[in-house]
Structure 1
Amino acid sequence: MTAPPDHAIAAERVFDGDFFRHNHVVLLRGGAIIDVTDAPPPGVPVTRLPPGAILAPGFIDVQVNGGGGVLLNDDGSVEGIRRIAEAHRAGGTTGFLATLITDTRPAIARAIKGVAEAIRAGVPGLLGIHLEGPFLSPKRIGIHDPARLARFGEGDAALLTGLGTRGITLVTLAPEEVPPGAVADLVARGARVCAGHTADDGAAIRRALGEGLSGFTHLFNAMSQVGPREPGAVGVALAEEGAYAGIIADGHHVGDLQLRLALRLKGRDRLMLVSDAMPPVGDASDGFTLFGRRIRRDGDRLTGADGTLAGAAITMAEAVRHMSGRGGATLAEALAMAALTPARFLGLDHRLGRIAPGFCADLVALGPDLSVVGTWIGGRARPEAAGRQS
């Protein structure tokens, strides 16, 4: 006999990862979803979301540099990563990759150790690490520190994949800056590899795709653009049907027309929302220091002294709101781009990104204005989760 649910969440609208269901109840047991039905069994405690609220799969962000006043490069301790996680959970993120931007090899080793310790300590939502650099093009460096760029050499594949099976590893690199076979080596060791901060005309990127490169980091930003004869990174990303692409929908990094173009060419199954968030998310400060450079905050826009964009100050909920408003996506498309698509990219779509029996109870509740009113990770709600018990 199947054990009964230990809790249920009722909502006027439930987005299951593909479609909306109206006036449904999600039944939970032991941190997992066991059914989606139109009424809870008698005697089961029910959290009823406010009128107009949406229950959706929790957001998954593959590019979180910081939050809560913490930058991973500066503080990779368990408590530092926990503060980042809490800041982003308030914005609907229930799964994320802690992201280290270009830094030294000792800093990479420390960050991997810190993420491993945080996973072992059970920091809610932490899925692994994203190493963005240091093998990037100096021509497309963006806000990264050029002094910390490096050449890919012996031992680097082992260093970058040091997290092993304890979590997911994503590596962003410029394919023209690494030797042939480097991407294949990283993939063979279990990493996912994206092209980013690249000046390549397309040839090295296509070679890397043949070696297992599977995505592109912050599409349109810090990468070669489409030319009349050379596709550049943007052209390859848009034309390669099987490749994934992260995109920052904050109104600053990518124009709304380009968001619409990317969605039309990639579709919701390959285009995923990312925050590229920095420490000001969930923090009231007016900026922060990045490798000795002062980064100013103006609303949700972050820039260096020369005006270079320096990551973002948005949450995934804000990205969903922008993409489903000005970015041309339907709400269903934007919600999928924030959950199911990144889950598929990370190879976790067998347990994350859907509201369906057998999936983890990682959930977000959104108000009619798409503000976050509650989250659950493994079926456990934040103390401020909205809804009344019955």
Structure 2
Amino acid sequence: MTVKSRITGARIFDGMQWHDDAALVIESGHVRSIIREDAGLDSLGTIDARGLLLVAGFIDLQVNGGGGALFNEQPTLESIRQICAAHARYGTTALLPTLITDTRETKTAAIKAGLEAKAAGIPGFLGLHLEGPHLSLARKGAHDPALIRPMEKLDLDEMLACVTQLGCLMVTVAPENATMEQVKALADAGVVVSLGHTDASFETSSTFAKAGARAVTHLFNAMSGLGHREPGVVGAALATGSLHAGMIADGFHIDPAAMGIALRAKQGPAHIFLVTDAMSTIGTDMERFFLNSREILRKDGRLTLADGTLAGADIDMLSSVRFVHEKLGLPIEEAFRMASAYPADTMGIASRKGRLIHGADADFVLLTPELELNSTWIGGRKVFDAGAPFVV
């Protein structure tokens, strides 16, 4: 049965621009249109959102955990459900549960869980991000060095076999442990290959981009920096128009001044987009947890190993949007684009996610003018209401 409704009274940001005195028309979980608020559609069920902002839902391409669940420790369908539910409380309507470097068995279990989540239609589940294990030891960050290894045929075949069913698959690799031929095979199959945890040169990074790499994982972090004689991965990310780049906007992973410089320097048409790199702490009062049998400590907004190495982030997507708007002085429109349209572009799903256009999924958030969350909607259904218990 076709179900139609409209949301009126809100100022609407469709992912790219504002619509005033307008209404969002939803049909069977998809956007039908944005129309004049006074258009005569009395037969539709009407939801009054007067005084609020209606904004395209946030998309997070790097989410290790949330709500107490950590994907590496619990690579299961229920863990994915828990993570998606936790992040919906902060405006994220689509995310990639992210598995960092782990054993082959854990990676296989994570892929199985992702396929189950896709089949079950878990609200907010977009696909998977496999961040490793094919990374550089020199730029391991918080990844367990004992588990880092080169990509083998079995690894490649496993990823190629699941990408079509998953719908969205992002894989972070380092040129030190993956070949251009492997990257090309992945890219040709529809996998979004992201360069990260690598000490590669500018030239090598550029060559891998030409081979099919499409993105750079958590810009500035765990990669060769921007030098005046060797621009490194950071330089390649900023100078290469085809490379998108994720950015953790928590004030710890990157100094705000460096964020601003990068945003001004980025060559298009690709963009810098927001990621949280969130861990299991989101939505909880946890003070510590374990990753690959190593204790991670939570203190003053930071997550670290015992030696002080940053280990993921303790931030949600709405807070990230506020950070780049308030701390960097970025126009709120661009902050919203970095959380919705640009990650959708990175994954090649702009026709159905990240923008409230005809035929797209009706994924959106209602915010107060002060950027406080009122409610989160996925597929035209309210999955979180700030004034009521969580109901997914």
Q: Distance in 2 between matches of 1:17 and 1:84?
A: 24
Partner of 1:253: 253
The offset of 1:328, in angstroms, is 3.3
Q: Distance in 1 between matches of 2:263 and 2:367?
A: 23
The offset of 1:329, in angstroms, is 1.6
Cα distance, 1:194–1:383 mapped onto 2, change above 3 Å: closer
Query: Secondary structure of 1:289's partner?
Result: strand
Partner of 2:237: 237
| 1:305-324 → structure 2 map (5 Å cutoff) | 305-324=306-325
Partner of 1:74: 73
Q: Which amino acid is 1:102 matched to? A: T
Q: Which amino acid is 1:342 matched to? A: P
Summarize deviations over 1:88-119 as a string: whole Å, max 9, x none: 11111111111000011111111000110111
Q: Distance in 1 between matches of 2:91 and 2:129?
A: 19
Q: Distance in 2 between matches of 1:46 and 1:299?
A: 43
Given candidates 26, 29, 49, the residue that maps to 1:28 is: 26
Summarize deviations over 1:38-77 as a string: whole Å, max 9, x none: 32622432222252x2111111110011001111111121
Q: Which amino acid is 1:139 matched to? A: A
Query: Secondary structure of 2:245's partner?
Result: strand
| 1:200-215 → structure 2 map (5 Å cutoff) | 200-215=200-215
Q: Distance in 2 between matches of 1:268 and 1:180?
A: 23
The offset of 1:4, in angstroms, is 8.8
The offset of 1:268, in angstroms, is 9.1
Given candidates 8, 11, 15, the residue that maps to 1:10 is: 8
Partner of 2:55: 56
Partner of 2:298: 297
> Do the aligned partners of 2:242 and 2:269 also contact (CA within 8 Å) in 1?
no
Q: Distance in 2 between matches of 1:183 and 1:365?
A: 39
Partner of 1:156: 155
Q: Distance in 1 between matches of 2:339 and 2:384?
A: 23
> Do the aligned partners of 1:176 and 1:204 also contact (CA within 8 Å) in 2?
no
| 1:173-184 → structure 2 map (5 Å cutoff) | 173-184=173-184
> Do the aligned partners of 1:286 and 1:296 also contact (CA within 8 Å) in 2?
yes
Query: Secondary structure of 1:114's partner?
Result: helix
What stretches of structure 1 move > 6 A for 4+ residues in a row? none
Q: Distance in 1 between matches of 2:11 and 2:302?
A: 32
| 1:267-282 → structure 2 map (5 Å cutoff) | 270-282=271-283
Partner of 1:224: 224
Q: Which amino acid is 1:378 matched to? A: G
- Asked if residue 126 in structure 1 is aligned to residue 130 in structure 2, the reply is no
Cα distance, 1:332–1:209 mapped onto 2, change above 3 Å: same
Q: Distance in 2 between matches of 1:35 and 1:324?
A: 28
> Do the aligned partners of 1:5 and 1:27 also contact (CA within 8 Å) in 2?
no
Cα distance, 1:107–1:4 mapped onto 2, change above 3 Å: closer
The offset of 1:203, in angstroms, is 2.7
Query: Secondary structure of 2:127's partner?
Result: strand
State TM-score, norm by structure 1: 0.94
Q: Name stretches of at least 5 consecutive residues in structure 1 with no aligned partner.
A: none
Query: Secondary structure of 1:113's partner?
Result: helix
Q: Distance in 1 between matches of 2:21 and 2:334?
A: 20
Q: Which amino acid is 2:25 matched to? A: L
Partner of 1:194: 194
The offset of 1:183, in angstroms, is 0.7
Query: Secondary structure of 1:341's partner?
Result: helix
Q: Which amino acid is 2:123 matched to? A: P
Summarize deviations over 1:204-247 as a string: whole Å, max 9, x none: 21221121001100001111001121111101111112210000
Query: Secondary structure of 1:374's partner?
Result: strand
Query: Secondary structure of 2:180's partner?
Result: coil
RMSD: 1.8
Query: Secondary structure of 2:24's partner?
Result: strand
State TM-score, norm by structure 2: 0.94
Query: Secondary structure of 1:351's partner?
Result: coil
The offset of 1:285, in angstroms, is 0.8
Cα distance, 1:190–1:4 mapped onto 2, change above 3 Å: closer
The offset of 1:336, in angstroms, is 0.6
> Do the aligned partners of 1:249 and 1:327 also contact (CA within 8 Å) in 2?
no
Q: Name stretches of at least 5 consecutive residues in structure 2 with no aligned partner.
A: none
Cα distance, 1:181–1:150 mapped onto 2, change above 3 Å: same
Partner of 1:19: 17
Q: Which amino acid is 1:236 matched to? A: A
> Do the aligned partners of 2:102 and 2:292 also contact (CA within 8 Å) in 1?
no
Partner of 2:373: 372
Query: Secondary structure of 2:105's partner?
Result: helix
Q: Distance in 2 between matches of 1:284 and 1:386?
A: 20
Q: Distance in 2 between matches of 1:257 and 1:383?
A: 34
Aligned residue pair count: 384
Cα distance, 1:11–1:301 mapped onto 2, change above 3 Å: farther
Query: Secondary structure of 2:176's partner?
Result: helix
Partner of 1:47: 47
Query: Secondary structure of 1:155's partner?
Result: helix
State the identity as a percent.
41
The offset of 1:11, in angstroms, is 3.7
Q: Which amino acid is 2:180 matched to? A: P
Query: Secondary structure of 1:34's partner?
Result: strand
